[in-house]
Amino acid sequence: MHQIDRHPLRMVSEHGERATVTAVLGDSPTPMEGSSYGARRAQDRAFVPAEVQEAEVSGSRFRSGGDVVLLVPTQSWRGLIPGQQVTATGSLAPPRPGDTTLAVIRVYEPPAKVIDAPAWQRTAEDLREGLRRSSASVLTPAAAGLLPGLVVGDTSGLPPEVERDFATAGLAHLVAVSGANLAIVCGAVLLLLHAVGAGPVLSAIGGGAALVGFVVLAGPEPSVLRAAVMGTVTLLALVLGRERSALPALAGSVIALLLLMPQLAGTAGFALSVAATAGLVLLAPVWAGALHARGVPVGVAEALAVPAAAHLVTAPLVAAISGEVSAVAVVANLLAGPVIAPATVFGVLATLAAPVSGWLSEAFVWLSAPELLWVIAVAEHAAAMPGAAIGWPSGTGGGLLLAVVALGLLIALRHRGIRLTAVAVVLVLGLVLIPTRVLYPQWPAHGWSVVACDVGQGDGLVLATGNPGEAVVVDTGPDPALSAECLRRLGIRRVPLLVLTHLHADHVSGLRAVLAHSGVGAVAMGALREPAWAMGDIARDTRSRGVPIIELSAGQQARWPSLALEVLGPRGPLARSRSADDANDASIVLMASTPAGRVLLTGDIELSGQAQLLASGADLRADVLKIPHHGSRYTAPQFLQAVRPRLALISVGAGNTYGHPSPLILGALARTGTTVIRTDQEGDIAVLPGPQGPRTLTRGDPVRAER
């Protein structure tokens, strides 16, 4: 970390300098989940890990290795594969604290000086493309996106709603290539060799070849590398005749990998993979044996013990990372588990057959179809269960708390009386609380002042004016339907003013649907009309509905019976900017006076925009703060101190790849005693007046429940 902190790219990343780098790509461009950086759609921006070979910053050129992340236009970078060398120019941004990445580089131009990847990586990409092509020609869109995910972890074709279902149901690990995939492939090879009478040495050689081939095909992901090293040790044990080598193999693989690549210590995938394997090695055999001793058949006992053990040991890590715990993961994995191995094997066979015979590859894909459809159905029904995902404190504290709770339950459930009581409690919850929640949802909340709609990775806020069926809307989210659905649930028929804080897709893409659903009096925005594609769409949509566009500036005010709005920003040079790079900091900032208190709505302002507001001397104190930019780390402590909110709203998408909300911001809010509530955990959030200040009522998770 000392070497990384002293690296020239890291040292200048805080200042937003422009850099030109020559780098070798570590993976293919991965489309971001959610819209950002002026992208028209989520898929218009992608991130690419890369290793720097040479860099030039402020006229100084140097050769030095190190990892960076490139944020690139998807369209012009599409088709690049790991191992290719490119030259790119962009602005630097600092990575997360403690990250071994030198810098994040925002690139807006196509790659230059592209050099081909090594032959083995081109062959692997051809095989992956063959699988995608065969899947698309045979399967439904959801199944066609799932099969490459099971085989090589390629989720680029998986529909977003299916990804959400898998995450909620605790099945996301199925499409994150891990030791399970490697075990299935190598196990199939070893079984075949055993069937033909091969000895230990020949079996180890065949298993080793399958292991190397799979790592090349799937790519060097942390969990794949861990499984590959563990598999190598296990194959060695097979040759030497050593039994019961799983735990030493796991320990050896962890030690070896962390010595060679210390950065794995900070990756969630590696931690989850090691924890899950440890659970399977240490707990699953004991639990399966205990169940078998009580009369449960061996196969059933193992089927119950394996997902339960894996879920138990990984749940604290998942809770620390995501802030939620799946209540249906064990059952979902139990139902989906039996079909994963045949689907994966058929997928691998289809991959290998694709370069030789298209019809043979499609035949193997066809054989995998029933298994894929079953897994998708399990995920969909599990995710739709009320209470499928339970909110939990995130961060280290939340993870440790859940670990203590899990350990306490394990100790307590050793007693028969406690086990019977636990079963009774589960039955009561299932038969009483869940039907009550389904049949009698308390929505819309009576007397609400503000609602943060769950629109995914974006913003969509509704402010009651005091007139029946009327509200002011601030931003419309990334999905054309979700904001309109939220307004429909709230009974809003008229929107006298619709404010677009800035023109990024995660704030404006729902405009057309809102215009169609509600009578909109006017659409308001700031002076910055970039990106141009968004302004063109807004002009066309408002013109077709006869809705005027008005410009807001600092100092303007508007009033309704129970709502007053004051425009606080943008200010200073940001108010006059015409650069798309300033779109976030040039967001319109509103102070809303409501019966629930003062509410500060901040769009996506980052450090520059916050500094301008602080310098203006405006009164920023508020009871409720809509945290800027979905809780990104670019919020200054001085800004939070100036606002001093009692309640913080974070509008953020579940499972987003940006790391929103940042643990740094969550920690800063926790230290000030601010209550934090998030749309990715609670769904639609209503803010109401209370005797001791603002209070909240949540609807649940409408994105998952209704899609």
> pLDDT digit string (tens) for 463-483?
999 888 899 999 999 987 888
Residue 10 confidence (pLDDT) above 60: yes
More confident residue, 332 or 238: 332
Cα(454)–Cα(66) distance, integer angstroms: 38
d(CA 107, CA 506): 19
Q: Find the helix or strand (DSSP H, E) in which 696 lies.
A: strand 695-698
Q: What is the largest CA-CA distance in the chain?
A: 85
Residues 611 and 696 in one domain: yes
Q: Is there a domain that residue 208 lies in?
A: no
Q: Write the pLDDT tens digit of every residue in 375-386.
A: 988 887 887 676
Name the more confident of 435 and 560. 560
Q: ∠ CA(133), CA(136), CA(138), 5° rounding?
A: 110
Q: Are residues 430 and 468 in the same domain?
A: no
Segment 332-350 shows an average pLDDT of: 85
pLDDT tens figures, 519-568: 899 999 999 998 998 999 999 999 988 999 999 999 999 999 889 999 99
| 339 pLDDT above the threshold of 90 | no
Residue 295, classed as helix, strand or coil, is: coil
- The answer to whether residues 693 and 597 touch, using CB atoms and an 8 Å cutoff, is yes
Among 64, 98, 117, which residue terminates a domain? 117
Same domain, 456 and 551: yes
Q: Of the ranges 228-237, 318-327, 600-609, 685-694, which is most confident?
A: 600-609
User: Where a domain ends, among 54, 85, 117?
Assistant: 117
Strand, helix or coil for residue 519: strand
Residue 340's H or E segment, with its range, is: helix 329-353
DSSP lists the bridge partners of residue 22 as 54, 87
Mean per-residue pLDDT, 436-461: 79
pLDDT at 518: 84
Same domain, 620 and 540: yes
Q: How many domains does the chain have?
A: 3
What's the gap between Cα 147 and its chain centre? 20
Share of the chain above pLDDT 70, in %: 88
Residue 102's domain comprises: 2-117
Q: Is 231 helix (H, G, I), strand (E, B) or coil?
A: helix
Burial of 299 (0-12, 13-18, 19+ CB in 10 A): exposed
CB 72 within 8 A of CB 107: yes
Helix H or strand E segment including 227: helix 222-240
pLDDT computed for residue 184 by the predictor: 75
Q: Is residue 375 part of a domain?
A: no
Whether residue 603 is predicted with pLDDT greater than 50 in this model: the reply is yes
CA dihedral 37, 42, 43, 44 (to 10 degrees): -30
Q: Within a domain: residue 264?
A: no
Residue 273 lies in a domain: no
Measured CA to CA in angstroms, residue 590 lies from 464, 563, 633 at distances of: 15, 12, 21
CA distance 253 to 231: 9
Residues 503 and 401 in one domain: no
d(CA 332, CA 455): 26
Q: What is the mean pLDDT of residues 284-305?
A: 81
Residue 242 lies in a domain: no
Beta bridge partners of 594: 597
Kindly report the average pLDDT of the chain as a whole number.
82
What does the pLDDT read at residue 178?
Answer: 63
Whether residues 522 and 632 fall in one domain: yes
Of 97, 117, 137, the domain-final residue: 117
462 or 130: whose pLDDT is higher? 462
Is residue 141, in this structure, part of any structural domain at all?
no
Q: Based on the domain organization, do 546 and 482 belong to the same domain? A: yes
What distance in Å separates the CA atoms of residue 688 and residue 450, rounded to the nearest whole number?
A: 7
3-state secondary structure of 685: strand
Which pLDDT does position 610 carry in this prediction? 92
Model confidence at 503, in pLDDT bands (50, 70, 90)?
very high
Same domain, 532 and 403: no
Co-location of 566 and 474 in the same domain: yes
Query: How would DSSP label each residue in 611-669?
Result: HHHHHHT-----SEEE-GGGG-S---HHHHHHH--SEEEE---TT-TT-PSPHHHHHHH
3-class DSSP assignment, residue 588: coil
Instruction: Please give the pLDDT value at position 705.
Output: 32
Q: What is the mean pLDDT of residues 158-183?
A: 72
User: What digits encode the pLDDT tens for the residues 74-90?
Assistant: 888 888 888 889 999 98
CATH number, domain containing residue 87: 2.40.50.140
Instruction: Look at 334 and 138; give whichever has higher pLDDT.
Output: 138
The pLDDT of residue 687: 93
CB 312 within 8 A of CB 333: no
| % residues pLDDT > 90 (the chain) | 26
CA pair distance 454, 490, nearest whole angstrom: 13
**What pLDDT, on the 0 to 100 scale, is given for residue 239?**
62
Beta-strand (E) ranges in 26-167? 30-31, 45-57, 60-62, 67-73, 85-93, 103-107, 112-115
Residue 471 in domain: yes
* pLDDT reading at 300 higher than 60: yes
Question: 89: closest CA among 14, 17, 21, 15?
Answer: 21
Angle subtended by helix axes 246-260 and 222-240, to nearest 10: 130
Domain with residue 497: its CATH number is 3.60.15.10
Band of residue 36 on the pLDDT scale cut at 50, 70, 90: very low
State residue 195's pLDDT score.
82
Coil, helix or strand at residue 457: coil
Q: 541 and 417, same structural domain?
A: no
Q: Given a cut of 60, is residue 432 above it in pLDDT?
A: no
